[in-house]
Structure 1
Amino acid sequence: MAENTGKTEKSTAFVVVDLQKGVLADDGTWDPAGVVSRVAGLVDKARAAQVPVVWVQHNSGELVAGEEPWQLADGLAPADGEPVVQKRYGDSFEETELGDLLDALGADHLVIAGAQTDACIRSTLHGAVHRGYDVTLVSDCHTTGEIPAEYSGGELISAQTKINFTNMYADWGLTTASASGSVATAAEVEF
């Protein structure tokens, strides 16, 4: 768990969640090529600033390790030595080594990007803040698909609506006594 060490400057890690081929292949996914391109740019920017990049891959059900849908999207690849966390639940911290890795890196601020906005991204944001990490959600670097009308009370809920809501929530409502959330576009993120 991140501790308040009295430092005024936060130590940052860039966490990329579930940008896998099988996740991005869903119909209605918002701007998958653009999200991957912007995330790749942030990965390069983080590496240049010597900010740790931590990769998370979902590994269960339809996303079985080693199979094509489980692979990271084309254009994204961990560099030698960058940790890759395998998870089975929405929250990237749940029954994984993510918290221990971040603590070993000295990270107390996480910049988060990936998929799916309304599932693993939201769960990971909550998991991080409740474990004491400040988070910045990259507002144009997370994606999801639409919710069909049969699952949403008769109305189609667009991917963009879910993304906008999650951005608003990360900026306004994601706060505990020891940590908080914020949002920034890819162009605004400074490492």
Structure 2
Amino acid sequence: MTLADRPNTALVVIDLQNQVVANAYRRHEVLGAVNMLIERARNAGVPVVWVRHADEELKAGSEAWQIVAELAPAPGEAIVEKSYRDAFEGTDLESVLSSLRAGKLLVAGAQTDMCVRSTMHGALVRGYDAILVSDAHTTDDSDFVFLGA
């Protein structure tokens, strides 16, 4: 169920930054799919909201922090700066979406198992209809080794 008085849809593009997707699974295909989504959204008048992560390892303003060259925010598109995995936490994402009257979110980006998952959960618990676009998100292989019992 969409939030009251929020009939619109927004495309939320999460953390498609140089360092974040440098070694991403199917990087080229995913960025192509996201580029197509962005083009379709813009043509349909659906706002594109960009989310960009910064922390101690990913310094704001650095080349690693920049959105990848294959994608580019258009003038006037919101860029939400975040420092937590959930793009709603400690950011103005909710107010941006509220101003757009967006209650339905199409979500794309990286890392599937971290920031995308956390933001999807954040959207759902806040009452948004959130849809993860199946071919428009990616992650890296993890270096973690899980020991089973």
- Tell me if both proteins adopt one fold, taking TM over 0.5 as the criterion: yes
The one-letter amino acid of 1:13's match is A
2:41 to 21, 40, 46: 46
Higher helix share: 1
Does residue 30 of the first structure (1) align with residue 25 of the second (2)? yes
1:16 to 13, 18, 24: 13
1:108 to 100, 103, 106: 103
Tell me how many residue pairs correspond in the alignment.
Answer: 147
1:126 to 121, 124, 139: 121
2:147 to 145, 148, 153: 153
Using structure 1 for the length normalisation, give the TM-score: 0.73
Q: Which has the higher contact order (CA 8 A, sep 6+)?
A: 2
- Residue 123 of structure 1 and its aligned partner are, at CA, apart by 0.1
- Residue 153 of structure 1 and its aligned partner are, at CA, apart by 2.0
- Determine if contact 1:62/1:69 at 8 Å carries over to the other structure: no
- Residue 62 of structure 1 and its aligned partner are, at CA, apart by 2.1
Write the distance in 2 (CA, Å) between the matches of 1:84 and 1:146.
27
- Secondary structure of 1:40's partner? helix
- Secondary structure of 2:64's partner? helix
2:134 to 136, 139, 158: 139
Q: CA RMSD in A?
A: 1.5
Report Cα offsets for 1:124-148 as digits up to 9, x if no partner: 0000010110011001110011223
- Residue 42 of structure 1 and its aligned partner are, at CA, apart by 0.7
Using structure 2 for the length normalisation, give the TM-score: 0.93
Write the distance in 1 (CA, Å) between the matches of 2:32 and 2:123.
25
Change (3 A) 1:62 1:149: closer
Report Cα offsets for 1:102-133 as digits up to 9, x if no partner: 01100000000000000000000000010110
2:91 to 85, 89, 96: 96
Change (3 A) 1:147 1:52: same
The one-letter amino acid of 1:15's match is V
Match of 2:4 in 1: 4
- Structure 2 residue runs of 5 or longer lacking an equivalent are none
Higher strand share: 2
Q: Which has the larger radius of gyration?
A: 1
- Residue 66 of structure 1 and its aligned partner are, at CA, apart by 1.3
- Structure 1 residue runs of 5 or longer lacking an equivalent are 155-191
Runs of 4+ in 1 over 4 A off after TM superposition: none
The one-letter amino acid of 1:17's match is I
Match of 1:170 in 2: none
Aligned runs of 1:68-83 on 2, under 5 Å?
68-83=63-78
